[in-house]
Amino acid sequence: MRLQMANIFLNGFVFGIVFALFGCGGEKPKVFASLNQTASLMGDLPANPLAWSVITSSASRNDSTMSTLYGNDVASQYARTNPDHKYPNGSALSLVTWTQQEDSRWFGAKIPATVKSVEFVLVSSAAGSPSYSYQKFEGTPLKRSSAEEYRVPADRAAELLSQRGAVLP
């Protein structure tokens, strides 16, 4: 490896002298070290899912979106050790869905572009009976677009809770 690097530098040096004489070629597309600003979560959310752990990820070809399911400590630990979907009291899950863009650094890859929605399910349990609170945030900045309470999870709340943890050995 050292030898290879040395070669690269030597070649660069010799060619550098030649090009100083003959000038430069065409411009190449440029890539900069920058954050993916448009994909960050902006708006008032009840919690910050990006500060939680990953449970799994998914994508949709038809919608050209990609999603990551996050969980707080209770939820992510549960998802990694239980094949059931009976999340305990205090579990919080969040599904962040992004529109996609082509990755300028790797042909064939897609990366997050803008936030399409952020969904939450909070599991709380009073006197032994669980309840599930679902909220959805959309728009720029993100604003709450729906909120539901369930005794038995249904609709999107059920979909979030039913996602299986991705294998993380």
Partner 1 sequence: MNGFGPGRWKWVALILALGFLGIQFIRPALPNKPVTAELQVPPDVKQILKTSCYNCHSNETRLSWFDKPAPAYWIVSNHVKEGRKHLNFSEIGSLPLAQQQGVLFESISQIELGAMPLPAYERLHPESEITPQQLTVLKNYLNSAVSNRVVTAEEIGSADAEYEKWVHSPSLAKEVSPAPNGIGFLPDYKNWRAISSTERDDNHTMRVILGNDIAVNAIAHNQINPWPDGTAFAKVAWLQQLDGTGAIRTGAFFQVEFMMRDNKKYADTLGWGFARWRGADLKPYGKDATFTGECVGCHIALSKTDYVFTAPIGGQQ
**CA neighbor of 116 nearest in space, from 132, 137, 144, 90:** 137
- Are 94 and 120 a contacting pair, CB within 8 Å? yes
Check binding of 140 to partner 1 (CB under 8 A). no
Check binding of 113 to partner 1 (CB under 8 A). no
Check binding of 20 to partner 1 (CB under 8 A). no
Question: CA distances (Å), 108 to each of 111, 112, 127, in order?
Answer: 10, 14, 52
User: Which residues neighbour 103 within 8 Å (Cβ) at sequence distance 6 or greater?
Assistant: 109, 110, 111
Which residue in the set 89, 139, 159, 164 belongs to the binding site for partner 1 (CB under 8 A)?
164
Residue 132 CB coordination number (10 Å): 23
- Are 53 and 73 a contacting pair, CB within 8 Å? yes
Check binding of 166 to partner 1 (CB under 8 A). yes
Closer Cβ to partner 1, 1 or 126, answer by number: 1
Which residue in the set 25, 44, 126, 162 belongs to the binding site for partner 1 (CB under 8 A)?
25
Binding site for partner 1 (CB under 8 A): 1-2, 4-5, 7, 10-12, 14-16, 18-19, 22, 24-26, 28-37, 39-41, 48, 50-51, 53-54, 56-63, 66, 68, 70, 80-83, 100, 103-112, 164-169
